[in-house]
Amino acid sequence: MGRGTLRIYLGAAPGVGKTYAMLSEGHRRRQRGTDVVVGFVETHGRPRTAALVEGLEVVPRRRITYRGATFTEMDVDAVLARRPQVALVDELAHTNVPGSRNAKRWQDVEELLDAGIHVISTLNIQHLESLNDVVEQITGVPQRETIPDEVVRRADQIELVDMTPEALRRRLAHGNVYAPEKIDAALSNYFRVGNLTALRELALLWVADRVDEGLRRYRAEHHIDRPWPARERVVVGLSGGPEGETVIRRAARIAARGSGGELMAVYVARSDGLTGASPKTLARQRELVENLGGSFHTVVGDDVPTALLQFAKGVNATQLVLGISRRKRHLFSPGVGNTVARLADEIDVHIVPHEKAGRGLRLLPERREALSRLRRLWGWAAAVIGPPALTLLLALTRDMHSLPTDLLLFLALTVGVALLGGLWPALFCAVSGSLLLNFYFTPPIHRFTIAEPENLLALVVFVLVGVGVSSVVDLAARRTQQAARSQAEAEVLSGLARSVLSGKDALPALLNQLK
Residues 269-325: tens digit of each pLDDT: 866 555 557 778 888 899 998 888 888 888 877 788 888 888 888 887 888 999 887
| Residue length of the chain | 515
| pLDDT at position 143 | 82
Q: Is 319 helix (H, G, I), strand (E, B) or coil?
A: strand
Give the up-direction half-sphere exposure of residue 5: CA atoms within 13 A in the CB hemisphere.
Answer: 5
Query: Computed over its alpha carbons, how large is the radius of gyration of the chain?
Result: 36
- Strands lying side by side in the sheet with 118-124: 57-58, 36-40, 86-89, 118-124, 6-11, 157-161
| Residues carrying CATH 3.40.50.620, the chain | 233-362
| Domain 233-362: CATH superfamily, name plus number | HUPs (3.40.50.620)
Residue 460 — very low, low, confident or very high, per pLDDT cuts 50/70/90?
A: confident
User: How much is the average pLDDT of 33-53?
Assistant: 92
Q: Is 50 exceeded by the pLDDT of residue 452?
A: yes
Q: What's the whole-model pTM score?
A: 0.51
Report which residue type is found at 372: S
- 191 contacts 13 by C-beta, under 8 angstroms: yes
Q: Where in the chain is the domain with CATH 3.40.50.300?
A: 6-221
Alpha-helical regions (H) of 354-397: 373-396
In the prediction, which pLDDT does 29 show? 95
Helices (H), 397-514: 403-421, 423-440, 453-501, 506-514
> Tell me, what's the pLDDT at 366?
43
Of the pLDDT bands very low, low, confident and very high (cuts 50, 70, 90), residue 432 is: confident
CA neighbor of 74 nearest in space, from 29, 18, 121: 121
The per-residue pLDDT for 364 is: 41
Q: How far is it, in rounded angstroms, from Cα 158 to Cα 162?
A: 12
Please determine, for residue 39, whether its predicted confidence score (pLDDT) is greater than 80: yes
| 129 or 222, higher pLDDT | 129
Under 8 Å between Cβ of 252 and 342: no
Q: Among 224-228, 329-333, 506-510, name the one with the lowest average pLDDT.
A: 329-333
Name the architecture of domain 6-221: 3-Layer(aba) Sandwich (3.40)
How many helices (H) and strands (E) are present in the chain, helices listed first?
18, 15
CA distance 209 to 163: 19
